[in-house]
């Protein structure tokens, strides 16, 4: 597994900042913001760098750029089920959280477009994490705001669709084509067949999709054995010979 602070596509100047004292320098926020935009354009994701930017925002609230934050969260959705979204969300101001606990936070959440955006993205994250894929797509398509929030992320739907397919492939060896169409939001049998063949490497078998065996979906028998020695019952046996008080 790749270390959390590593990213193969990270530019050298970003790596230098992250490994030096400049990562706490407010002047580097613009550099990190440009890097977020680069990730959106080239379909990469650097969680460690994005968290560093959100930490700078936490220390310097006046520097916070709502569009950059929502782009970070939208990018984090494309790498589920990693904890990236939750980690990013935890660094945002309290009043932006999905369930504000104080009256002040609740009042702020009712008046801020930024808070509404964060909470809508949190809703999408919850649906993905709970494997409610059909509901995820219907929610994503239900409001133009979702389209605005993900517009800067190149290939957002495709990236999420691939992640869903990966999770499905860990669970199933055979799945009804109709169900998979809904989970992937791929309409039409021809489009579905092309996706599962070209992207997933799966086979179409009539109305079913066959997933090759892998280490996650393979049925394996597990034999458990327990060693029970007499010494483990020593106390019980000893009590049997003790005189009642």
- pLDDT-based confidence at 90, cuts 50/70/90? very high
For the chain, give the percent of residues with pLDDT over 90: 61
Which pLDDT belongs to residue 108?
55
143 in the same domain as 52: yes
**The pLDDT of residue 97:** 77
121/76 Cα distance (integer angstroms): 10
Judgement on whether residues 136 and 196 belong to the same structural domain of the protein: no
Count CA within 13 A, CB hemisphere, residue 124: 31
Same-domain status, 164 and 127:
no
* Co-location of 69 and 123 in the same domain: yes
Q: Give the domain CATH number at 19.
A: 1.25.40.250
Report the pLDDT value the prediction gives residue 102, as an integer from 0 to 100.
59
DSSP state of 25: -
Q: Which residues lie below 8 Å from residue 122, measured CB to CB, with a gap of 6+? A: 73, 85, 89, 98
Average pLDDT of the segment spanning 32-54 = 96
Q: Are residues 166 and 144 in the same domain?
A: no
* Residue 35 covered by a domain: yes
Among 163, 165, 162, 171, residue whose Cα is nearest residue 214: 171
Residue 227 lies in a domain: no
Q: Tell me if 236 is assigned to some domain.
A: no
Name the token pair of 159: 């990236």
The secondary element (H helix, E strand) that includes residue 174 is strand 174-176
113 in a structural domain: yes
* Exposure string for 190-212, b = 16+ CB within 10 A, e = fewer: eebbebbeeebebeeeeeebebe
What's the rounded Cα separation, in Å, for the pair 205 and 174?
A: 9
Q: Are residues 28 and 135 in the same domain?
A: yes
- Res. 168 pLDDT band, cuts 50 70 90: very high
User: Do 44 and 65 fall into the same domain?
Assistant: yes
Query: Are 26 and 143 contained in the same domain?
Result: yes
45 within some domain: yes
Confirm if 76 and 85 have CB atoms less than 8 A apart.
yes
User: For position 99, what pLDDT does the model report?
Assistant: 65
Number of structural domains the chain divides into: 2
Residue 229 resides in a domain: no
Do 19 and 77 share a domain, yes or no?
Answer: yes
Q: What secondary structure letter does DSSP report for 72?
A: H
In-domain check, residue 239:
no
Instruction: List the one residue out of 209, 225, 205 whose CA is nearest residue 217.
Output: 209
Residue-number span of the structural domain to which 118 is assigned: 9-98+109-154
How many degrees, rounded to 5, is the angle at CA 23 between CA 21 and CA 29?
Answer: 140
Which pLDDT band holds residue 243 (cuts at 50, 70, 90)?
Answer: low
Residues 134 and 160 in one domain: no
pLDDT at 103: 60
Does residue 190 share a domain with residue 148? no
Please give the Cα distance from 71 to 53 (Å, whole number). 12
Q: What is the number of alpha carbons within 13 Å of residue 142 lying toward its C-beta?
A: 10
Q: State the helix-helix crossing angle for 156-171 and 133-140, rounded to 10 degrees.
A: 170
**The whole model's pTM is what?**
0.83
- CA nearest 50: which of 92, 80, 113? 92
Asked whether residue 109 carries a pLDDT value surpassing 60, the answer given is: no
Q: How many angstroms separate the CA atoms of 157 and 127, rounded?
A: 15
Q: How far is CA 46 from the centre of its chain?
A: 13
Q: Which residues of 166-181 are buried (b: 16+ CB within 10 A; e: fewer)?
A: ebbbeebeebebeebb
- pLDDT value for 93: 87
Specify the DSSP class assigned to residue 205.
E
For 169-218, the pLDDT digits (tens) are 888 889 999 999 999 999 888 899 999 889 988 888 888 989 888 787 77
Instruction: Evaluate whether residue 233 is within a structural domain.
Output: no
Same domain, residue pair 80 and 188:
no
Q: How far is Cα of residue 118 from the mean position of the Cα atoms in its chain?
A: 15
């Amino acid at each position: 597994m790749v270390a959390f602070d590593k990213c193969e596509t990270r530019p050298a100047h970003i790596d230098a900042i992250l490994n030096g004292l400049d990562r706490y320098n407010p002047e580097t926020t613009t550099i990190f913001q440009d890097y977020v935009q680069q990730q959106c354009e080239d379909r990469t994701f650097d969680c460690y760098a994005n968290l560093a930017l959100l930490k700078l925002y936490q220390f310097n609230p006046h520097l916070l750029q709502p569009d950059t934050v929502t782009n970070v969260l939208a990018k984090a959705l494309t790498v589920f089920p990693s904890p990236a979204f939750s980690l990013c969300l935890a660094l945002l101001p309290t009043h932006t959280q999905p369930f504000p606990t104080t009256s002040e936070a609740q009042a702020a959440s009712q008046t801020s477009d930024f808070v509404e955006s964060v909470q809508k993205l949190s809703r999408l994250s919850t649906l993905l994490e709970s494997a409610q894929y059909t509901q995820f797509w219907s929610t994503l398509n239900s409001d133009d705001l979702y389209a605005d929030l993900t517009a800067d992320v190149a290939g957002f739907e495709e990236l999420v669709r691939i992640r869903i397919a990966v999770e499905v492939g860990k669970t199933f060896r055979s799945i009804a084509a109709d169900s998979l169409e809904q989970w992937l939001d791929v309409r039409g049998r021809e489009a579905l067949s092309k996706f599962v063949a070209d992207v997933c490497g799966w086979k179409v078998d009539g109305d079913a999709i066959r997933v090759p065996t892998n280490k996650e979906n393979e049925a394996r028998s597990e034999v458990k054995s327990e060693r029970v020695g007499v010494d483990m019952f020593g106390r019980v046996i000893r009590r049997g010979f003790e005189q009642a008080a």
